[in-house]
Structure 1
Amino acid sequence: MAPRPSKTASEQIDDIEAQIAKLQQKKRQVLKKQSERVAKLVMESGLAELDIDEADLAKALSEIAARFQKPAASQAHPASPQT
């Protein structure tokens, strides 16, 4: 049996497009999971029930995110040497 010749350019493009479609689907799934997680936290915390302007809420959430994005070194205390 003779070895199969290399794929044609058209076949290679089809393969790449199929891979892109799979990655796009995976991206959608990840984004959906993140959205569901955030929505659940918003509901549990009571934020969904507040009458607050979206801009104000976005600013407050950005401030919270910044608090958790600070380098760990600034929050950690240096270890004191044992004597």
Structure 2
Amino acid sequence: MAPRTAKTASEQIDDIEAQIAKLQQRKKEVLKKQSERVAKLVMESGLADLDIDEAELSKALKDVAARFQNPATPQAHTPAPQN
């Protein structure tokens, strides 16, 4: 009898589920690292010590994010044209 080369549907599903589990774990690690980075910045900036309503702080942070995502003016570091 020749050796079997193709995986069964059940084996393929098991492989896919293992890949999904690895990706979910990786996603969890990335989110944790991102959360730790933001928490560190919040602590260093003093935001954690301010007595601000969460909704107000959230709006202010969204405003800051928008400022960096959609700059209204050209970047200051753009080199001037050379003649």
TM-score, normalised by the number of residues in structure 1: 0.85
Alignment of 1:75 onto 2:65: no
- Which 5+ residue runs of structure 1 have no aligned equivalent? none
Alignment of 1:22 onto 2:6: no
Q: CA deviation at 1:18?
A: 0.2
Query: Which is richer in helix?
Result: 1
Where in structure 1 do 4 or more consecutive aligned residues deviate above 2 Å?
Answer: 1-5, 76-81
Residue identity over aligned pairs, in percent, reads 77
- Which 5+ residue runs of structure 2 have no aligned equivalent? none
Q: CA deviation at 1:71?
A: 4.9
CA distance in 2, matches of 1:24, 1:79: 46
Equivalent residue runs for 1:41-52 within 5 Å: 41-52=41-52
Distance 1:48 1:18, change over 3 A: same
**More deviation in 16-25 or 63-72?**
63-72
Q: 1:5 is paired with a residue of what secondary structure?
A: coil
Q: 1:41 is paired with a residue of what secondary structure?
A: helix
The count of corresponding residues between Structure 1 and Structure 2 is 81
What is the RMSD computed on CA atoms of the aligned residues?
2.1
CA distance in 1, matches of 2:67, 2:15: 44
